[in-house]
Structure 1
Amino acid sequence: MRVILAITTGCLLATAGIGANARPLTQNDRQACKWGAQIAAQAQQAKLSGITLYTARKKLQARKFAKPWMRMTAFGITEQTYNSRSRLSPAAISKTYQEQCVQHALARR
């Protein structure tokens, strides 16, 4: 099963070939992917624990974020995670998100 998660640009990830002349990821791209993977893992943990989407969103609303785009992106990642029927472990969700985010960031270059 393939998991598709939203990333910071709000786009859905798409599989794309990585060209031979692709530039390496920036530190910001790596941090954004890592942050998104953490949000996805936390959402999956909450979902598997029986916490409702409403409660998960309330917790995100109370949380402080470093950048303005992070709040709405976290809501999107959380909602998409809850809407997925996946029962994978949070660690597997985090790994999948990170891999697909990196693929997407490289394909953008």
Structure 2
Amino acid sequence: MRVFLATLASCALAFVAWDAQARPLNQNDRSVCGWGAQIAAEAQQSKLSGATLYAARKKLQVRRFGKPWMRMTAMGITEQTYNSRSRLPPKAIKQTYYEQCVQHAVARR
């Protein structure tokens, strides 16, 4: 009986874990990931074109953002992109950022 209960409990836990992963992301999470991916791609484009981090940050300072948290987040993404040694094209950076952001959002649930 104990073995049966232990098996049942582990199956229930596995189902709960599967259910949490199977839930699709909401529109807000997808939107935030897409926004961050776009910022990362723009930063990579600036870096590859030879612009300095200072110039990229200045460009972000004058940009209008819809939410108060977006400016500092964009600054952080840009700085991380410039600190990276990656020479990937901006399109690849955008895709990678989006995929990892979605993975993080799913794991957070």
Confirm or deny a common fold (TM above 0.5): yes
What TM-score, normalized by structure 1, do the two folds share? 0.82
Quick check: which one's helix share is greater?
2
> 1:50-69 to 2 correspondence within 5 Å?
50-69=50-69
Q: Which runs of 5+ in 1 are unaligned?
A: 1-18
Q: Distance in 2 between matches of 1:21 and 1:78?
A: 35
Matching residue's letter, 2:73: T
> 1:68-79 to 2 correspondence within 5 Å?
68-79=68-79
SS in 2 for 1:51: coil
> 1:23-62 to 2 correspondence within 5 Å?
23-62=23-62
Q: Which runs of 4+ in 1 moved over 3 A?
A: none
Percent identity at matched positions? 77
Cα shift readout 1:23-78 (whole Å, capped 9, x = no counterpart): 22110000000000000000000000000000000000000000001000000000
Q: Distance in 2 between matches of 1:20 and 1:62?
A: 44
Q: Which runs of 5+ in 2 are unaligned?
A: 1-16
Aligned length: 91
What TM-score, normalized by structure 2, do the two folds share? 0.82
Q: Which has the higher contact order (CA 8 A, sep 6+)?
A: 1
- Structure possessing the higher radius of gyration over alpha carbons: 2
RMSD: 0.6
